[in-house]
Amino acid sequence: MIEYNLKSVPQNTGWIEVIAGCMFSGKTEELIRRLRRAQIAKLNVKIFKPEIDKRYSSEKIVSHSEQSLPSTIINNTSDILDLSHDSHVVGIDEAQFFDSSILEICIKLAASGKRVIAAGLDMDYRGVPFEPMPQFLAIAEYITKTLAICVVCGNPANMTQRKIASGERVLVGASDSYEARCRLHHYIP
Ligand code: ZN
């Protein structure tokens, strides 16, 4: 995972970090880890997530391993600018559920000197890139791709396997309907 040495951190500007991967790959856990370290460094941290994610808790971001941090639910992405003016670090979870306006917001935050860390699902259950994550990866200074473990064979897993048949792109709050699979063991149900 990214550990910055002082020479590699941009000076006098913010930047964008993206943590992208399939379900169960530890994206939120890694986001929480980075945000906690920023808090230890006495930096002011704000965390946002889209309205669609009511998994586990509405006022926190929670990883599958039960770590959590308080967060604010956002309906309108422009609210993020107002709510984070006094923060040094802005965390965004479930970034794939925001519309593409989140990109412009994060560019503004970074330009105003903030460190932005966005975590999100990079592909849907079919293996199709999940907008706006491809664009997020393009505009970021730093990218971390998280891999899970294939439950069939133990290989590194890059795919989210849906275990029930549904044509909907998102089944919110149904994480037990998914598991991580490698390329060989992934199929579209
Ligand atoms: Zn496998």
User: Along the 189 residues of the chain, how does pLDDT read in single tens digits?
Assistant: 555 555 567 778 999 999 999 999 999 999 999 999 999 999 999 999 998 755 555 678 787 777 788 999 999 999 999 999 999 999 999 999 999 999 999 999 999 999 999 999 999 999 999 999 999 999 999 999 999 999 999 999 999 999 998 888 888 767 789 999 999 999 999
Please state the domain extents for the chain: 12-146
- Does the active-site annotation cover 94? yes
Residues 6+ apart with CB under 8 A from 66: none
| CATH code given to domain 12-146 | 3.40.50.300
C-alpha distances in Å from residue 139, one per residue of 102, 128, 130, 136, 156: 12, 19, 15, 5, 26
How big is the chain by its Cα radius of gyration, in Å?
Answer: 16
Kindly give the distance from the C-alpha atom of residue 161 to the centroid of ligand 1, in angstroms, as a whole number.
Answer: 11
Distance CA 181, CA 57 (A): 26
Q: Given 17, 59, 66, 94, which residue is catalytic?
A: 94
For residues 130 and 122, what is the distance between their CA atoms, to the nearest angstrom? 5
For ion ligand 1, residues whose CB falls within 5 Å: 150, 152-153, 155, 182, 185
Quote the pTM value.
0.90
CA of 66 to the centre of ligand 1 (A): 26
Alpha carbon of 86 to ligand 1 centroid (Å): 45
